[in-house]
Amino acid sequence: MSTAALVLVLVAIAWWWTQRVRVTPRPIAMVAQRIHFPNGGVVLSDVETSLVNLRNPEEIVVPFDTAILVIDYPLTTPASVSISAALAVGFTRQELVRAVCEEYANIYEAEETTASTKTIPREERTTLKNRNRTDGAYGIYGHDLDDLTLTSLRWDRAADGTIRIELNVES
């Protein structure tokens, strides 16, 4: 009888302990996830056409509600932009494409307003058809916005819980 009572007391203590002590595992980094955009990718200067051509636009592709969007091509000074999802369950493919296109447009606009060396218009470019390097906030070089295509992106979660989205942009 005393053994059964001892077991009962130990079970009661264990139950009480689990109800009082918060057991939360430390966050761990997740394996990077890649999202591919087929059919030639997403033209960053043409948001609406790009959205129409998306496969599964409503699919949740990043299951977190905030992320840091890292834009580094064709920038001398990379940009890290915080973005938030409209849905608590995460970013849809469509929402992510729209955010990337809008942030690229914002960066190109900021570059034009902060640069003392302005972009040479396409019609006036003679020997080199690429965009000249400008000295604005981001130091854009080599390509105009309508030259750029998003072919894929990858996201991962760091151990501190931060979600980083890195882009694969081609010209």
Check pLDDT > 80 for residue 30: no
Q: Which residue, 103, 108, 98, is CA-closest to 47?
A: 98
pLDDT digits (tens, 9 = 90+) for 112-144: 999 999 999 999 988 878 999 999 999 999 999
The C-alpha atoms of residue 26 and residue 170 are separated, in whole angstroms, by 37
Place of tokens 């053994």: 3
pLDDT of residue 169: 97
The C-alpha atoms of residue 119 and residue 109 are separated, in whole angstroms, by 11
pLDDT digits (tens, 9 = 90+) for 62-117: 999 999 999 999 999 999 999 999 999 999 999 999 999 999 999 999 999 999 99
Q: What is the pTM of this model?
A: 0.81
Question: Is residue 105 packed enough to be buried (19+ CB in 10 Å), middle (13-18) or exposed (0-12)?
Answer: middle
The C-alpha atoms of residue 103 and residue 138 are separated, in whole angstroms, by 13
The C-alpha atoms of residue 79 and residue 108 are separated, in whole angstroms, by 11
Question: Is residue 31 packed enough to be buried (19+ CB in 10 Å), middle (13-18) or exposed (0-12)?
Answer: exposed
Task: Map out the domains of the chain as residue ranges.
Answer: 30-170
- Above pLDDT 90, what percent of the chain? 67
Computed over every residue of the chain, the mean pLDDT equals 90
Q: How far is CA 157 from CA 69, 152, 169, in A?
A: 12, 17, 21
Q: What is the CA radius of gyration of the chain?
A: 24
pLDDT of residue 1: 60
Q: Give me 32's structure tokens.
A: 């990077």
Cβ atoms of 89 and 83 closer than 8 Å: no
Q: Beta-carbon neighbour count of residue 166 at 10 Å?
A: 16
Q: Give me 84's structure tokens.
A: 């938030």
pLDDT of residue 126: 85
